[in-house]
Amino acid sequence: MVPWTAIERLRDHFGDYVLLVTCRACRHSREVSPAFLARHSPAGWDEPIANIVERLRCRCGKKSVDVQIGFNHKPRGWNKNPS
Q: What is the pLDDT of residue 13?
A: 83
Total domains in the fold of the chain: 1
Q: Indicate if the alpha-carbon torsion angle 77, 74, 52, 26 is positive or negative.
A: negative
Assigned domain for 78 exists: no
Residue 70 buriedness (CB in 10 A; 0-12 / 13-18 / 19+): exposed
Helices (H), 1-83: 34-39, 49-55
Assigned domain for 80 exists: no
Assigned domain for 47 exists: yes
Assigned domain for 20 exists: yes
pLDDT digits (tens, 9 = 90+) for 15-47: 889 999 999 999 999 999 999 999 999 899 999
Assigned domain for 23 exists: yes
Residue 74 has φ and ψ, to the nearest 5°, of -70, 125
The model's pTM is 0.76
Assigned domain for 12 exists: yes
Q: Which of 13, 18, 29 is closest to 77 using CA atoms?
A: 13
Parent domain of 20: 2-70
Assigned domain for 77 exists: no
3-class DSSP state of 36: helix
Q: What pLDDT band is residue 60 in, cutting at 50, 70 and 90?
A: very high
